[in-house]
C-alpha cells in the first residue's frame, strides 16, 4: 500500500497559543534537509517510499472538520496508508471518522501518545477543542479501544471520563517498559496519534504546552518501533509549534518519527 503524507495546517481549536498550523511545512523541510538522509532505523529508505498529497486548504465559512474528514477519506479510499501532519490535536477527531468508516466493523484500537489525555467534555466552552478530541471519538464509537501512553496531567474530570469510556491509561510514571509493552501487544487495526508534548521539553521545545517529566526522543522512537509491523492503518503527528522551536529541533524529531512510522507500515 502507498504511504501518503497529508498536511493539516489547522490550529483553530488550540488553547493558550496558536502556531501549530505552521507545522506541516516545518516537518517537510526537516524530512528533506541536507543535514540528514531519508532512511529509517529499519534500513528502509522511508522518505523515498512516501508520496505527498500536499496540504489541505481551509476556506473561510466552511467547516474545517468536514475538510479534514473528506481529505483523510480520499486517501483511505485509494487504499493508502495516510500519515497526517498537524496542526493541533483537534484534527484527530474528524480523521477518525474517516478511518472508522474505512475499517467498517473491524476492531480498531487507537494508540495515543501524549502528556495530556485530551478527554475533556468541553474546554473553555469549546467541545471541539484540542483538549477534547478523544472524548468526541469515544462518544461516537469511532474506536473499540483507546490506549493512552505517557500521560502526566490527569485530573479528576478526565479520570472520570477515562472510566466512562473504558480508556486504558499508562501514565508516564509507570516507566518506559510499561509504555513499550502496551505498544507491543496491540492487535488488529491500529491508528497512532502522537502529540509531540509527550516528549520532555528538553527534547521538544517547539510545543505550545510543554510538560516536564516526559519521554526522551529515544524512548518515543522505541514505543513507535514496538508497534507490530503491518498493524497501522494511519497515523498523525500533531502539536508541533514552530514559533517556539529552537534550531528546528522539534521539527527534526517530527521528521524522524514520520520515517519510523513508515517502517511500521511495511
pLDDT digits (tens, 9 = 90+) for 173-184: 999 999 999 999
**Residue 99 CB contacts under 8 Å (≥ 6 apart), including other chains:** 72, 76, 108, 142, 191, 233, 234
Task: Over range 247-266, report the average pLDDT.
Answer: 96
Phi, psi of 119 (to 5 degrees): -115, 10
pLDDT tens string 153-193:
999 999 999 999 999 999 999 999 999 999 999 999 999 99
pLDDT band at 199 (very low <50, low <70, confident <90, very high): very high
Give mean pLDDT, residues 201-207.
97
pLDDT of residue 61: 87
> In the structure, how many helices (H) and strands (E) does the chain have?
8, 8
Question: pLDDT for 83-120, tens place per residue?
Answer: 999 999 999 999 999 999 999 989 999 999 999 999 99
Q: d(Cα 46, Cα 146) in Å, to the nearest integer?
A: 27
Going by their DSSP bridges, the two strands 50-55 and 3-8 should be labelled as parallel
- 210 in Cβ contact with 240 (< 8 Å): no
* Nearest to 103, CA basis, from 128, 72, 134, 130: 72
pTM passes above 0.75? yes
pLDDT of residue 164: 98
pLDDT 10s digits, 228-248: 999 999 999 999 999 999 999
Share of the chain above pLDDT 90, in %: 97
* Residue 266 pLDDT greater than 80, yes or no: no
- pLDDT of residue 1 exceeding 80, the answer is no
**pLDDT, the chain, mean:** 97
Question: What pLDDT, in 10s, does the model give residues 70-79?
Answer: 999 999 999 9
pLDDT value of residue 243: 97
What pLDDT score does 105 carry?
A: 87
Residue 93 is predicted with a pLDDT of 98
**Domain architecture of the chain: domains with CATH:** 3-264 (3.40.800.10)
Q: What pLDDT score does 194 carry?
A: 98
Sheet holding 3-8, edge to edge: 50-55, 3-8, 81-86, 232-238, 189-195, 108-113, 145-151, 168-171
Amino acid at each position: 500500500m502507498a504511504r501518503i503524507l497529508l498536511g493539516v495546517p489547522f490550529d483553530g481549536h488550540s488553547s493558550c497559543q496558536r502556531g501549530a498550523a505552521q507545522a506541516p511545512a516545518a516537518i517537510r523541510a526537516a524530512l528533506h534537509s541536507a543535514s540528514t538522509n531519508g532512511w529509517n532505523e529499519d534500513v528502509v529508505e522511508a522518505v523515498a517510499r512516501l508520496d505527498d498529497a500536499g496540504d489541505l486548504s481551509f476556506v473561510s465559512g466552511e467547516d474545517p472538520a468536514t475538510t479534514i474528514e473528506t481529505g483523510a477519506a480520499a486517501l483511505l479510499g485509494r487504499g493508502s496508508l495516510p500519515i497526517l501532519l498537524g496542526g493541533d490535536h483537534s484534527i484527530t477527531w474528524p480523521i477518525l471518522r474517516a478511518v472508522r468508516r474505512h475499517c467498517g466493523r473491524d476492531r480498531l484500537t487507537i494508540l495515543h501518545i501524549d502528556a495530556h489525555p485530551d478527554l475533556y467534555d468541553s474546554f473553555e466552552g469549546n467541545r471541539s477543542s484540542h483538549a477534547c478530541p478523544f472524548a468526541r471519538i469515544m462518544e461516537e464509537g469511532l474506536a473499540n479501544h483507546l490506549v493512552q501512553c505517557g500521560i502526566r496531567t490527569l485530573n479528576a474530570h478526565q479520570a472520570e471520563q477515562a472510566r466512562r469510556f473504558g480508556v486504558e491509561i499508562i501514565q508516564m510514571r509507570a516507566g518506559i517498559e510499561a509504555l513499550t509493552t502496551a505498544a507491543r501487544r496491540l492487535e488488529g487495526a491500529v491508528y497512532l496519534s502522537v502529540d509531540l508534548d509527550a516528549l520532555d521539553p528538553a527534547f521538544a521545545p517547539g510545543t505550545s504546552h510543554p510538560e516536564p517529566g516526559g519521554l526522551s526522543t529515544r524512548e518515543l522512537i522505541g514505543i513507535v518501533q514496538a508497534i507490530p509491523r503491518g498493524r497501522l492503518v494511519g497515523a498523525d503527528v500533531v502539536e508541533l509549534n514552530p514559533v517556539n522551536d529552537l534550531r528546528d529541533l522539534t521539527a527534526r524529531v517530527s521528521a524522524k518519527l514520520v520515517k519510523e512510522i513508515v517502517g511500521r507500515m511495511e
